[in-house]
Amino acid sequence: MSRQLREVVFVDGVRTPFGKAKGQYAETRADDLVIKCISELMRRNPSLPPERIDEVAIAATTQIGDRGLTIGRTAGMLAGLPISVPGFAIDRMCAGALTAVTTTAGGIAFGSYDVVIAGGVEHMGRHPMGEGVDPNPRIISEKIVDPEALAMGNTAENLHDRYPAITKERADAYAVASQTKAAAAYAAGLIQPDLVPVATRSAEEGWGPATTDEPMRPQTTMESLAGLKTPFRSHGRVTAGNAAGINDGATACIPAAEDVAAELGLEPGMRPVSYSFVGVEAEFMGAGPIPATEKALRPAGLTIDDIDGF
């Protein structure tokens, strides 16, 4: 039996403000962060009947404690969705929430879903990366993975070795530019419309709202970054100022079939064109987006020069 794939659209998306690990969300549950996102999506899209949602897919890297119990299912129920709405949990580390989107988008294209909620949550203050894991000793003994792959900071230093044109100065400049662009986006009011305020609790300070991203450091300069320690290698290039942060936060979005979005009066914001995942040597894990991008561009008939959204 032949089947025609349906067009998929991205209707809406929200996120919590991101917090530093052990910062503003130190006493806030991880599942409550993503529950807040799901609830906000439903509030922002009143023409979407809750019973029309066919799936809730939520990613989390360490699925224990307040990120366990099939968090897509429990978060949907706690956000007030009907008991008939199913849900599942998914894990692909840093690409988890993106995988929740692509997996459910594929289900929409196939015809299994009409409308879904997809997103992810990380609470690294409560659940540090690698918490509770028990790697099979064969991974190291059979040299399937270099031991340096067990620390992301080491893999970042390895990338500097492999691509010597990416100097510490270039990495620092990128970090400064990132902080500058974020501050400018906040000043222009571009980020705030899609942030979900979260009520936070502190045993010492009481209740208060989280309304902005906590890790931002708009005062960052090349001079301030130059003096930071390189903890992963003596005279290395990776510092706390140019490395990925250790953060807490959640996201959620609504992918839908194009015809169903029109039926329900949901305005599409964008549409997926292609996606891809590619494995690389774990000790150079940060290079993964290179072959994945190349693979995603090919079936779309695009080249890197066609992309201007970096």
| pLDDT tens readout for residues 161-183 | 999 999 999 999 999 999 999 99
pLDDT-based confidence at residue 214 (cuts at 50, 70, 90): very high
Does a structural domain hold residue 201? yes
pLDDT-based confidence at residue 202 (cuts at 50, 70, 90): confident
CA–CA distance, 260 with 114 (Å, rounded to integer): 6
Does a structural domain hold residue 56? yes
Does a structural domain hold residue 289? no
Does a structural domain hold residue 161? no
| Mean pLDDT, rounded, of the chain | 95
Does a structural domain hold residue 52? yes
**For the chain, percent of residues with pLDDT exceeding 70:** 99
At 132-165, the pLDDT tens digits run 889 899 998 999 998 888 889 999 999 999 999 9
Does a structural domain hold residue 193? yes
Please give the tally of structural domains in the chain.
Answer: 1
* Domain containing residue 20: 8-128+167-272
Say what the pLDDT of residue 28 is. 96
Q: Convert the chain into a string of H (helix), E (strand) and C (coil).
A: CCCCCCCEEEEEEEECCCEECCCCCCCCCHHHHHHHHHHHHHHHCCCCCHHHEEEEEEECCCCCHHHCCCHHHHHHHHCCCCCCCCEEEECCHHHHHHHHHHHHHHHHHHCCCCEEEEEEEEECCCCCCCCCCCCCCHHHHCCCCCHHHHCHHHHHHHHHHHCCCCCHHHHHHHHHHHHHHHHHHHHCCCCHHHECCEEEEECCCEEEEECCCCCCCCCCCHHHHHCCCCCCCCCCCCCCCCCCCCEEEEEEEEEEEHHHHHHHCCCCCECCCCCCCCCCCHHHHHHCHHHHHHHHHHHHCCCHHHCCCC
pLDDT, average across residues 211-231: 96
Does a structural domain hold residue 32? yes
pLDDT, average across residues 289-293: 96
Say what the pLDDT of residue 268 is. 97
Say what the pLDDT of residue 42 is. 98
Q: What is the CATH number of the domain that holds 244?
A: 3.40.47.10
Say what the pLDDT of residue 96 is. 96
Say what the pLDDT of residue 204 is. 87
- Scored b (16 or more CB within 10 A) or e, 193-208 reads eebbebebeeeeeeee
Tell whether the model's pLDDT for residue 2 goes beyond 80.
no
Tell whether the model's pLDDT for residue 17 goes beyond 80.
yes
pLDDT-based confidence at residue 236 (cuts at 50, 70, 90): very high
Whether residue 54 contacts residue 115, with contact meaning beta carbons closer than 8 Å, is answered with: yes
Does a structural domain hold residue 309? no
The pTM (predicted TM-score) of the whole model is: 0.95
